[in-house]
Structure 1
Amino acid sequence: MTEQQDLKGRTIVMSGGSRGIGLAILLAAARRGADAVILAKTDQPDPRLPGTVHTAVAEIEAAGGRAVAVVGDVRVEEDVDRAVRTAADAFGGVDIVVNNASALNMSGTADLTPKRYDLMQSINSRGTFVLTRAALPHLRESPDAQVLTLSPPINLDPKWLGVFPPYMLSKYGMTLLTLGWANEFAGAGIRANCLWPRTTIATAAVKNLLGGDEVENRARTPEIMADAAVAVLTDAARPTGRTFIDDEVLAAHGVTDLTPYGGSGTPDIDFFIEGTDPADLPKH
C-alpha cells in the first residue's frame, strides 16, 4: 500500500460540487484537513436536484473542514477569477484544482442543436481550461500543486467514437488538456491527472438522464470516487499524467472490498470503459 500524505492546509478550488461526486470528494478531503472553495451555480434549491452550494459548505463544515461558496458559472471568466481570488483571500492560495463541473448530453449529431453543443463544450472542456488557467499563478507557488479532472481515459474504439460524438469530444477534451498540462507544467512542479469511475455512480444526473431509480440502484455511491480522488491527491509517489480508474486506484491502496459502495452486485459499467455496449444505453 502506497504511503499517503495529509491534506492539512491544502486548498482545493472545485467547479461544481454542490452535490454528487464533487461534494463527496470535498467531504473526504475535508476529513483529511483540506480547505475548499466551491464555484457552483446552485444558489437556491432546485426541486430536481438535491442541495445548493450553501448546503455543501455546511456539510463540509459539519465534517470538520473549512469551505467558502462562490455562486457563479465556470463558463464565465469573471466568476472563475472571483473563485480563485476568494481562495487566495480566505486560505492563502490554491494547491489543488478539481475540474468537476460537467454537462451530460447523449444526443447524436443530428439530434443535438448547435446551442446545446456549445453549452456542453463550454462547461466541459472550456470550463476545465478556464479554471485551471486562472489558478496557474497560485499553483506555481504551491509546494505540491495538482490538477485533478473528472474525465475518462481516451478510448478510440469505434463503438465509443460513434455513439455520441459531441459528448465524447467534450470529455476527451478535458482529458487531453489535463494530460497536456502534466507535461507543459512538469518543470513548475504542477502535477495533473484524470479520474473516472469504472461503473455508473448514483448521482442526480444518472437518475434523471440514464433511467431513474432502476439505474441508480445498480450504481455505486459517490464515495468510491471520493476515496479514489483522495488517494490520488495524497499519494506520496506523486503521480502525474495518468488517467486513473476509481477501483484500480483503491486496489493499489489496499482496498479490494467494494461492497460498501453499493451497486447491487453487478453495477453498470460507465461510458468509455471496456465492458459497456453502447447499444444498451438509453436512447435520447
Structure 2
Amino acid sequence: MDTPAPVPAPSSSTAGLLNGKTVLVTGASRGIGRAIAIRCSAAGANVAMIARTQEPHPRLPGTIHTAAAEAEAAGGQVLPIVADIRDDKAIAGAVQQTVERFGGIDIVVNNAGSVHLATGEDISMQRYDHMQAINARAPFLLAKSALPYLRASAGAGRNPHILTLSPPINLNPSLISPGVAYAVSKYGVSVATIGLAHEFRPYGIAVNSLWPRTKIDTAAVRNLLGGEEAVAASRTAHICADAALLLVTSPASTYTGQLLFDEDVLAANGITDLDRYRVVPGSGPLADDLFVDA
C-alpha cells in the first residue's frame, strides 16, 4: 500500500484565507478530497471530513482518521465523520454534526466519486445505479441539506460556496464512450452546478465545478486507469487543492455557475508554472484526464 504524499505547507498568501469558516468535504480520506481538506485547514478553516473508510485497505492508502489527523496538523479544527453519502439520513446527520460542532457551514466540497469505465452493453445496472447515487445524487442531496446554513452564511456576509468535482460538458462522443454510465453521472452533476448556481444566486451562494485537466495521482488512476505508467504522467492532487482554495475564496455573488479546469483557475490567478505539481519532475508528456480533448 502506498503512503499518501504530504501536502505542501501553504504560502504566506493563503494562510488565514479561511479563518473562522467551516468547510464540509466528502470523499476526504484520500486523493483530491484529502488534499482539499488539508489545504482548507491550513488556510484556517474548520473542516468536517466525510468518508466511509475507517480501517486500512490493502490497495487504498489512508483512512478518514489518518486524513483527519493530517488536516488537524495543518492548523484547523477538524471533525471526521464516517458516513455513506448515498444515505439521506447519513447526510442529514453529517450536516447536523458539523453545525453542532462549528456553528454553521460556509463551504461544501462534493469530491466523493465512483469510477467504472465500461460500455453500455457490458455495465451492470447495479454498477450504473451505484455511480449515479454517488456521483450525481449525493452532491445534489448535500447541497439541499446544507442550503439553510449556506443561506445563513450568505446573510452574515461569509461568502458561501458549493464546489463539486465534475467536468466541463464536452459532447464529443469519443470522450463519452466507453464509459457512458460514468459520463452520465459526472455530466449530470455538472448540469446541476449550472442550474443550482442560477437558483442560489439570489441568496448569494456560489455553485461551481472543478475538474483536473490532466490525470491526478489517485487510487483510481493507480488501480483502474493505468497504474504506475499513468501515475508517471500525472500531477499530484495539490493542483486541485490549490485551485479549489482559489475558487472558494472568490466572490460568491459574481463568480458562480462555472465549470472549470484546475489549470485555468490557476492561470487566471497568475499561476502558470505548474511543474511543481508533476508526480515525476522532468518526465514526458502529461496524460489528459477523462472528458478532456487532446
Q: Amino acid of the residue matched to residue 239 of structure 1? A: Y
* 2-structure distance, mates of 1:195, 1:202: 16
Decide which of 167, 172, 184 is 1:152's aligned counterpart.
167
Shift of 1:132: 1.1
* 2-structure distance, mates of 1:85, 1:158: 42
Aligned residue for 1:253? 269
Structure with larger RCO (C-alpha < 8 A, sep 6+): 1
Shift of 1:26: 1.1
Aligned residue for 1:35? 46
* 2-structure distance, mates of 1:11, 1:17: 15
Decide which of 19, 22, 31 is 2:33's aligned counterpart.
22
Aligned residue for 2:136? 125
CA offsets 1:195-221 (integer angstroms, 9 cap, x no match): 000100000110000121111111100
| 2:281 pairs with 1:262 | no
Contact 1:97–1:146, Cα closer than 8 Å, also in 2: yes
Aligned residue for 1:281? none
Aligned residue for 2:108? 97
User: Alignment partner of 2:121: what SS?
Assistant: helix
Q: Amino acid of the residue matched to residue 25 of structure 2? A: M
Q: Amino acid of the residue matched to residue 205 of structure 2? A: I
Q: Amino acid of the residue matched to residue 292 of structure 2? A: I
CA offsets 1:94-129 (integer angstroms, 9 cap, x no match): 111111000001001111101111101000001111
Aligned residue for 2:149? 138
The residue correspondences of 1:152-171 to structure 2 (distance < 5 A) are 152-171=167-186
User: For residues 90 and 46 of structure 1, do their structure 2 counterparts lie closer, same or farther at Cα, with a shift above 3 Å needed?
Assistant: same
Contact 1:17–1:56, Cα closer than 8 Å, also in 2: yes
Shift of 1:161: 3.3
* 2-structure distance, mates of 1:19, 1:253: 26
Decide which of 249, 264, 271 is 2:290's aligned counterpart.
271
Unaligned stretches of 5+ residues in structure 1: 276-284
* 2-structure distance, mates of 1:56, 1:117: 29
Aligned residue for 2:220? 205
Contact 2:68–2:79, Cα closer than 8 Å, also in 1: yes
User: For residues 105 and 268 of structure 1, do their structure 2 counterparts lie closer, same or farther at Cα, with a shift above 3 Å needed?
Assistant: same
Unaligned stretches of 5+ residues in structure 2: 1-12
With normalisation by structure 1, the TM-score equals 0.93
* 1-structure distance, mates of 2:284, 2:93: 44
* 1-structure distance, mates of 2:85, 2:151: 21
* 2-structure distance, mates of 1:217, 1:35: 34
Decide which of 100, 110, 124 is 2:121's aligned counterpart.
110
With normalisation by structure 2, the TM-score equals 0.90
* 1-structure distance, mates of 2:238, 2:285: 17
Shift of 1:182: 0.4
Q: Amino acid of the residue matched to residue 155 of structure 1? A: N
* 1-structure distance, mates of 2:178, 2:168: 16
* 2-structure distance, mates of 1:194, 1:77: 22
Q: Amino acid of the residue matched to residue 95 of structure 2? A: V
Contact 1:13–1:83, Cα closer than 8 Å, also in 2: no
The CA RMSD over aligned residues, in Å, is 1.5
Contact 1:15–1:100, Cα closer than 8 Å, also in 2: yes
**Total equivalences in the alignment:** 273
CA offsets 1:134-167 (integer angstroms, 9 cap, x no match): 1011011003111000000010112223332111
| 2:232 pairs with 1:239 | no
Calculate percent identity across the aligned residue pairs. 47
Contact 1:39–1:80, Cα closer than 8 Å, also in 2: no
User: Alignment partner of 1:98: what SS?
Assistant: strand
Q: Amino acid of the residue matched to residue 215 of structure 1? A: A
Q: Amino acid of the residue matched to residue 262 of structure 1? A: R
Decide which of 235, 238, 241 is 1:220's aligned counterpart.
235
* 1-structure distance, mates of 2:184, 2:37: 27
